Amino acid sequence: MAVTDSLKHLPEVAPLSPFYTEEHEAFRRTVRRFVDRELMPYVDQWDEAEEFPRELYRKASAAGLLQLGFPEEYGGVPTDPFFGIVKAEEMARHGSGGLNASLNSHTIGSPPIAALGPEWMKRRVLPEVLAGEKISALAITEPSGGSDVANLKTTARREGDHYVVNGSKMFITSGMRADYYTVAVRTGGPGAGGVSLLLIERDREGFGRTKLKKMGWWASDTAQLFFDNVRVPVDNLIGQENKGFIGIMLNFNQERLGMSAGACGYAKVCLDESIAYARERHTFGKPLIANQVVRHRLVDMAMRINAVKSTLELLAWRVSQGEKPVAEICMLKNLATSTMEFCANEAMQVFGGAGYLRGAKVERIYRETKVMAIGGGSVEIMKDLAARQMGL
């Protein structure tokens, strides 16, 4: 149902930006080739199968897509945030958020290791993950609550040179087949001051997983995790005991910036698909785009996308300058995900019945809007955090 064959003639939604260099554009061409060759022909098949080949991780690494932002000494490629934006925009073109979520689960699972992990862990885990040989996942959310990280209930009791872990985690991306899990546990008293991070390998005795069926993100491997007296060496501690909340918070700005870039990319796909379809589809003897009401829908979509893109790029520049604009990033995530919702809804109206059929990018994106507005911090949590950061 995709109508992207005619998209090469479409105008850019936003004007050229001063933030991108030829190096960024060369990387864009690399990602675009990868998407066109390795993802586009198979994405519908993988979505229906609710999985994709594990070999794709190696291919993504060979194309230089997994290493962004990680230290060079462990196999990474240090970059500015704009490389991440380029990657998110191009990876959105195939329209499967689930594929992107699992293929990039290391971008939330591995940063705490790179920032706070002991040297042996960095040298063992990061090169394997960045080479696409092993899969990394982050396990924080629990069945009893997601955003209330400071009150998580999974416990890790110290017994000699091991922690004994008991509890459960929920909605974990790459939860079934990850090799390494960065897990938030309670090692101390109540509140944020009792939280630690542990590296837990998939083959630990007592560690179980159950696959979850979802409204969207079908190609994403999502699971509930169970820890039943799982013994984990004390050496697997990431950072200091009872200081794990800091590591969790360090991750959130990057995750939310990335989710905003992805939401903007999916919104752009909705616009591009809508323009192409409105030009091809004829009703009452004229192309759909000849109707003013349709053109106004397209302009409304472009207007919102431009606002998100401009804000995203400015905040990415501020982050590259060493700033931590927490409130602004929270508001950006809400703006980006609400724009994605708006554009997906408008695209469905333009497509009509054709957009309701499986295999249409706009149908898949429409189903996946809510997970973007919930994951990484819900709309309500983002507003509350932004208000606190603003001193309100």
The answer to the question of residue 12 being in a domain is: no
DSSP for 239-293, please give it.
SSTT-HHHHHHHHHHHHHHHHHHHHHHHHHHHHHHHHHHHHH-EETTEEGGGSHH
Q: Are residues 237 and 252 in the same domain?
A: no
| Same domain flag for 233 and 179 | yes
Q: What's 222's domain CATH number?
A: 2.40.110.10
Which domain CATH number covers 282? 1.20.140.10
User: Can you tell me the distance from the alpha carbon of 334 to that of 312, in angstroms, rounded to the nearest whole number?
Assistant: 12
346 has catalytic annotation: no
**How many CB atoms are closer than 10 A to CB 271?**
24
Quick one: 374 and 310 in the same domain?
Answer: yes
- The answer to the question of residue 6 being in a domain is no
Task: Say yes or no: 93 and 112 in one domain.
Answer: yes
Per the domain annotation, does 288 fall within a domain? yes
Please give the average per-residue pLDDT across 339-349, as a whole number: 98
CA max distance for the chain: 79
Q: The domain containing residue 210 runs over which residues?
A: 136-242
d(C-alpha 314, C-alpha 311), whole Å = 5
CA nearest to 308, candidates 385, 371, 372, 355? 372
Closest CA to 312 of 1, 13, 108, 31: 13
Helix (H, G, I), strand (E, B) or coil at 168: strand
Specify the pTM: 0.92
Quick one: which of 56, 132, 125 has its CA closest to 91?
56
Please tell me the predicted confidence (pLDDT) of residue 16.
Answer: 66
Could you say which of 115, 131, 147 is where a domain stops? 131
Question: Is residue 178 situated within a structural domain?
Answer: yes
- State whether 186 and 106 are in the same domain: no
Residue appearing with tokens 């603003």:
390
Tokens representing 335 are 């703006």
Catalytic residue among 38, 89, 142, 255: 255
Whether 15 has a pLDDT exceeding 50, the answer reads: no
* Residue 5 in domain: no
Answer yes or no: do 278 and 365 share one domain: yes
Residue-by-residue DSSP string for 285-332:
TEEGGGSHHHHHHHHHHHHHHHHHHHHHHHHHHHHHTT---HHHHHHH
The answer to the question of residue 208 being in a domain is yes
- For residue 275, pLDDT beyond 60: yes
Q: Is residue 219 predicted with pLDDT exceeding 60?
A: yes
Domain for residue 254, yes or no? Answer: yes
Total domains in the fold of the chain: 3
Q: Is the pLDDT of residue 168 over 70?
A: yes
Distance CA 372, CA 119 (A): 34
Summarised one tens digit per residue, pLDDT across range 91-125 is 999 999 999 999 999 999 999 999 999 999 999 99
pLDDT, one tens digit per residue, over 292-302 is: 999 999 999 99
Residue that is last in its domain, among 242, 265, 291: 242
Specify if 385 maps to a domain.
yes
pLDDT, mean of residues 342-356: 96
Instruction: Kindly state whether residues 270 and 359 are assigned to the same domain.
Output: yes
Give mean pLDDT, residues 58-85. 96
User: The CATH number of the domain where 90 resides is what?
Assistant: 1.10.540.10
**Where is average pLDDT lowest: 71-80, 101-110, 244-253?**
244-253
pLDDT over 80 (residue 145): no
Alpha-helix residue ranges (DSSP H) falling in the chain: 22-34, 43-49, 55-62, 81-91, 97-103, 106-109, 111-116, 119-130, 244-280, 292-320, 326-351, 361-367, 369-374, 379-389
| CA nearest neighbour of 364 among 246, 166, 219, 188 | 219
User: CA 379 to CA 97: how far, in whole Å?
Assistant: 19
10 has a pLDDT exceeding 60 = no
CA atoms within 13 Å, Cβ hemisphere of 104? 22
Residues 127 and 142 in one domain: no
Neighbours of 391 (CB within 10 A): 6
Q: Are residues 164 and 229 in the same domain?
A: yes
Same domain (yes/no): 101, 210: no
CA dihedral 153, 158, 163, 166 (to 10 degrees): -30
**257 in the same domain as 228:** no
Domain boundary among 187, 208, 242: 242
Residues 116 and 166 in one domain: no
pLDDT surpasses 60 at 354: yes
User: Residues of the chain with pLDDT > 90: what percent?
Assistant: 89
